[in-house]
Amino acid sequence: MNRPLLQLREVELARGGRTLCRELSLKVESGECWGVLGPNGAGKSTLLQTLAGLEPPAAGRILYRERPLAQWRRKELARELGMLFQLDEGGFTTTLFETVLTGRHPHLGTFGWETAADLRIAWQAIGELGLEALARRDPATLSGGERQRMEIAVLLAQQPRLALLDEPTNHLDPGHQVEILKRLRHHFARSGRALVMVLHDINLARVFCDHLLLLRGDGRWRAGEVAKMGAPEPLSWLYDWPVRTVGEEPESCLTFL
Amino acid sequence: MRHPLETRLPLLGLFLAAALAALGLALTLGSVSIPPPELWRLLWHDDGGIHARILHELRLPRALSAFFIGALLGLAGALMQVLLRNPLADPYVLGVSGGAATAVLAAMLVGSAPVWHAPAAFGGALVSILLLFALAHRDRWNAVRLLLTGVVLAAGWSALIGFLLSLAPGRRLPGMLFWLMGDLSDVLDPWLPGSILLAGLLLALAMAPALNLAARGALRAQSLGVEMGSLRIRIYLLASLLTAVAVSLAGAIGFVGLVAPHMVRLMVGADHRLLLPATALAGGTLLSLADTAARTLVAPMELPVGVLTALLGVPLFLYLLNRRRGAGS
């Protein structure tokens, strides 16, 4: 019997005095790929940060591997759980390679010096995202899409068991969107691992996720398998706008209307 | 695959060489110049002559003190820059030195013994840095808000300093003023700044991997296993301590904490495992050179060394501010 990686028990999310989500209970099992959908300001990023243990929920309990999230030590948790943030500005001049290498921090020993194995893992992550040619560049000089891929490389170098991704396809062109979601699914949606990602594109969510969480932002939510939640009725309920399907979408090619 | 620091580590030798050259220059130059061959001999064999006395009793302690104090300020600047995620942070610009100086002047005014100057400075620096943090941390460390807050705090401290000076008895005023502008002529014991520097550098190096992550933002650092709450407190305390020791000994010398880390970052990159020791060396070199210039430019008079560092630092600060605005838009 598989133990769930992540369990939410009657979790309440609030921001600025407003309740975004009430009594949210769900389980993320290993091998699953969850998509979080919802309108702007519905609490999707708040949910991910709460799941990452970066802020406490307004109410309820979150268990990671059957242990309350708050009881995990930061460094211990960082070996288990990784998060992709939305891009931000600032920071100091550095190189892409060194930035990706920061993903190894949770695995470093007392002296905090990366070993040959750490360097290899970071380099492999860079290779997987096709960033080799940019390894010596200052991230500030990269395009938005290149920086997004760099952030994903940091996450791959971190090698967490559960990946939480805030809009991983942001800034990416359609080709890279599909390619990167495939890679993420290959890495995390398998035995022992899982991923939860916030997406804005319903089509990508339906193709790549096996479970969906719909957050309306008014306290109400629905969650379940993609076959049920990715249907016109729940999605119309979610966005307060009629949604319909127009045939099948094979993931091997891009579809547009 | 080589470690990214492997190729840059030799640069530390370059900074060390520059530091030794600056110290050599400080020992050679002055009202009496001691030529290098004689300097080298006298350094190891005190022959009791006038040159040897000048060297051992005046120049060597002063040169070392200037070097250590510069290193303290450089290190404090580098730490504050990570804490505030902003390369413009500097203990002087953001009013931390001002807080320390105010506390020291208040201690001087009530006639407390010099031993209390350093603890008073530490208290003043800590109050200032906490005020800065409390007032400016909203708005995700917006650079403009941060600088405005720091500058206004600095202005507040300088008003308090003016108030304290106006209360001071006339005969002590020149000394207090000179100290305030940054003065190394009275610092004759290099052991205090030297030992604090060594301890501070070791403590900072122990935090270096976490500092690298903190420079990328608090949430990112936390998600990669850094306990940001305790890290912040450690940086606060250490940056305040380093600033306080420097200020209590030599007054408010500005911009070393801005110029040194900036120079170093351009050369060795932003990894704190290399940045911190290189910044200490660069800060020491910088203040050592500035002090030598302050002693010799208008000899036999002396300039306050803080005036020289400000003349160097202000243009760099304005350049950085301008470049950031260009990049941010």
- B188 Cβ contact partners less than 8 Å away, ≥ 6 residues apart: B58, B61, B62, B65
**Chain B residue closest to A74 (CA)?**
B225
Residue B328: its pLDDT value, please? 38
Residue B176: its pLDDT value, please? 78
Write the residue in B2, B208, B215 that is nearest to A92 by C-beta. B215
Angle, alpha carbons B219-B224-B230 (nearest 5°)? 65
* Full DSSP string of chain A: -PPPSEEEEEEEEEETTEEEEEEEEEEE-TT-EEEEE--TTSSHHHHHHHHTTSS--SEEEEEETTEEGGGS-HHHHHTTEEEEPPP--------HHHHHHGGGGGG--TT----HHHHHHHHHHHHHTT-GGGTTS-GGGS-HHHHHHHHHHHHHHH--SEEEEESTTTT--HHHHHHHHHHHHHHHSSTT-EEEEE-S-HHHHHHH-SEEEEE-SSB-EEEEEHHHHTSHHHHHHHHTS-----S---TTS----
User: CB contact, 8 Å: A140 with chain B?
Assistant: yes
Residue B55, CA distances (Å) to A105, B294, B300 in order: 48, 18, 17
pLDDT band at A250 (very low <50, low <70, confident <90, very high): low
Residue B148: its pLDDT value, please? 85
Residue A36: its pLDDT value, please? 96
Contact list, A158 vs chain B (CB under 8 Å) = 224
**Chain A residue closest to B88 (CA)?**
A92
Task: Tell me whether residues A88 and B217 touch, CB distance under 8 A.
Answer: yes
Q: Tens of pLDDT along B18-29?
A: 999 999 999 999
Q: Tens of pLDDT along A195-215?
A: 999 998 998 999 999 999 999
* Structure tokens belonging to residue A172: 């990416």
Residue B145: its pLDDT value, please? 80
Torsional class of B115: left (φ above 0), alpha (ψ -120 to 50), beta (otherwise): alpha
Q: Is pLDDT at A47 greater than 90 in this prediction?
A: yes
Contact list, A113 vs chain B (CB under 8 Å) = 3, 273
CA gap B156, B95 in Å, rounded: 9
Sign of CA dihedral A50, A54, A60, A65: positive
User: CB contact, 8 Å: A83 with chain B?
Assistant: yes
Q: Tens of pLDDT along B149-158?
A: 888 999 999 9
Distance from CA of A103 to the nearest CA of B (A): 7
* Structure tokens belonging to residue A185: 């699914």
Task: Tell me whether residues A105 and B209 touch, CB distance under 8 A.
Answer: yes
CATH architecture of the domain with residue range B66-323: Orthogonal Bundle (1.10)
pLDDT band at B160 (very low <50, low <70, confident <90, very high): very high
Confirm whether the ipTM is greater than 0.85: yes
* Structure tokens belonging to residue B110: 């009530």
**Mutant choice from A102, A126, A138 vs B, greatest count of B C-beta within 10 A:** A102
Give the rounded percent of residues in chain B with a pLDDT score beyond 70.
95
Q: Is pLDDT at B327 greater than 60 in this prediction?
A: no
By the 8 A CB rule, do A98 and B269 touch?
Answer: yes
**Among the listed ranges A126-130, B31-35, B260-264, which one has the minimum average pLDDT value?**
B31-35
Residue A251: its pLDDT value, please? 56
Residue A2: its pLDDT value, please? 67
CA gap A130, A161 in Å, rounded: 23
User: CB contact, 8 Å: B329 with chain A?
Assistant: no
Contact list, B328 vs chain A (CB under 8 Å) = 89
Q: Is pLDDT at A70 greater than 50 in this prediction?
A: yes
pLDDT band at B83 (very low <50, low <70, confident <90, very high): confident
By the 8 A CB rule, do A55 and A48 touch?
Answer: no
pLDDT band at B326 (very low <50, low <70, confident <90, very high): very low
Task: Tell me whether residues A112 and B327 touch, CB distance under 8 A.
Answer: no
